[in-house]
A = this chain, B = another copy of it.
Amino acid sequence: MNPASSNPGGDAAQGASPTFSPLYQQIKALITQSLQSGEWKPGELMPSEVELAARFKVSQGTVRKAIDELSAENLVVRRQGKGTFVATHHEERAHYRFLRLMPDEGVPHHPESRFIEVKRIRAPAEVARLLELRSGDAVVYIKRVQSFDGVPAILEELWLPGQLFKGLTAERLVEYKGPMYGLFESEFGTRMIRASEKIKAVAADPGAAQLLGVAEGTPLLCAERVSFTYGDKAVELRRGLYLTARHHYLSELS
Of the A-B pairs whose beta carbons lie under 8 Å apart in the complex, a sample of 14, sorted by A's number, is: A72-B72, A73-B254, A102-B198, A196-B252, A197-B251, A199-B221, A199-B248, A201-B221, A202-B219, A202-B244, A217-B217, A219-B219, A223-B251, A249-B251
Residue of A222, A242, A249 ringed by the most chain B CB atoms within 10 A: A249
Known contacts A219-B219, A220-B219: does B97 contact A253 (CB below 8 Å)?
yes
Contacts of A202 in B (CB 8 A): 201, 219, 244
**For the complex, what is the distance from the CA of A197 to the CA of B197, rounded to whole Å?**
15
**For the complex, what is the distance from the CA of A98 to the CA of B251, rounded to whole Å?**
11
| CB-based contact A252/B194 at 8 Å | yes
Could you tell me which residues of chain A, from 202 to 254, have a CB within 8 Å of some CB in chain B?
Answer: 202-203, 217, 219-223, 225, 242, 244, 248-254
| CB-based contact B250/A195 at 8 Å | no
Residue of B nearest to A101 (CB): B199
Residues of A within 8 A of B (CB): 72-74, 97-98, 100, 102, 194-203, 217, 219-223, 225, 242, 244, 248-254
Contacts of A250 in B (CB 8 A): 196-199
| CB-based contact A251/B251 at 8 Å | yes
